[in-house]
Structure 1
Amino acid sequence: MSNDRANAVVERITAIDWRAVGESFEHGTSCARLMREYLRRAALWVQELQKVHPGPFFDVSQSDRWPFFDIAKYVDPSVHADDELVEELDGFLSEYSSSLLTGRICRAALNWASLTDESLAGFGDLPDPFEPLLLVFERGGAFWIENGFIDFVASRVRLATWEDHLATEPMASLDGAVLDAIDED
């Protein structure tokens, strides 16, 4: 079952026209909103993972974890993406995506999709953290991090700490028509 999800993630990522990512500003507002949704979801997962991993889950010595980290590694360290899928994804990204951060995010999304239902069973109904980021990429949302912000050229999202994102209002829908309407406003 998780293999189907992992295959679907690789198919989605390899279907993205990475040459066009960042060339279009028409989805900047929705991409910024999707990023806020990712940060909210990731914060919810960190809050839950704090219960499993006693002590400070994120501190200065672990700054590489927030906000783009391999959540699956902390949910179930025994689960790994299929080697062939990792090879396919890495081969594709090395040819089409120039950002190390993009590669890290895509590999983390693949690992997430490789988790089993059993691995996720103890975490209730927490949302898929990577769906908003995959939508950002599919909508051409190139971004970079600078001066405490995630920047989409026309829109910026404050990075802040994971705790700051817990109170973010959840998006009612990730549907394409809803996202297009956000861009039109």
Structure 2
Amino acid sequence: MREYPRRTALWVAELRKDGPPPFFGTGHPDNWPFCDIAARVDPRVRAEEAIAARLDAFLSEHASGFLVGTVCRAALRWASLPDEALARYPHLPDPFEPLVLLLERGGGFSIENGFIDFIAHRVRLTRWEEHTATPPIPSLTPDALDALDAAETPTSARFRAIDAKFERRIAEAVESIGHTYVRSIVTGV
């Protein structure tokens, strides 16, 4: 989902105007784009302890990895920001909305070889400055996201082609082996 790095890049660009370079960016590439923007907007922000504890308990059972937990905690701190802290930035979108929607819809992500891999869609992990020019996704409604999910992309087309090729190879192997047990495992019959 290219919308998350785009929105985060807009916040990084804006926060760089407020003073010394933020704690994320060039000097800390491990933080980009999964950075705690709320801590920069208002360093005093803390999530309610009971809610943070519930999130930690949930993540300990359900998070697919450390990075997902890091982002969920940052999103909770973001949601804990007081309105007056955000009033200084009325022109900027909620940076975590696209990622929260991705997770709510059962999606996941990882980082590998300079890409954020959103399972079937990959987003090149470049410097934050390059993401500020990315066109916004016009709508994050469920229908609009369903249409994006269904859209043909080079990555999703490649995965479908790999899956089809893999299925053909399995079918050929099963036919050549002719073993009932292998056929039942592969075909479920």
TM-score range, shorter chain: 0.7 to 0.9
Asked if residue 99 in structure 1 is aligned to residue 58 in structure 2, the reply is no
Distance 2:22 2:78 in 1: 22
The structural deviation recorded for 1:135 is 0.9
**Corresponding residue for 1:53?**
19
**Corresponding residue for 1:72?**
38
Instruction: Find runs of 4+ consecutive structure 1 residues off by over 3 angstroms.
Output: 55-61
The equivalent position to 1:163 in structure 2, one of 129, 144, 155, is 129
**Corresponding residue for 2:109?**
143
- Structure 1's unaligned 5+ residue stretches are 1-34
The amino acid that maps onto 2:122 is R
Distance 1:183 1:164 in 2: 24
- Structure 2's unaligned 5+ residue stretches are 152-189
Which runs of structure 2 are paired with 1:103-118 in the superposition (5 Å)?
A: 103-118=69-84
The structural deviation recorded for 1:182 is 1.8
The structural deviation recorded for 1:60 is 4.9
The structural deviation recorded for 1:89 is 0.4
The amino acid that maps onto 1:142 is G
CA RMSD of aligned residues (A): 1.5
Helix, strand or coil at the partner of 1:69: coil
**Larger displacement relative to structure 2 (153-162 or 60-69):** 60-69
Distance 2:53 2:147 in 1: 37
TM (normalized to structure 2)? 0.75
- Tell me: higher relative CO, structure 1 or 2? Use CA pairs within 8 A at least 6 residues apart: 1
Helix, strand or coil at the partner of 2:2: helix
Give the number of the structure whose alpha-carbon radius of gyration is greater. Answer: 2
TM (normalized to structure 1)? 0.76
**Larger displacement relative to structure 2 (80-89 or 116-125):** 116-125
**Corresponding residue for 1:179?**
145
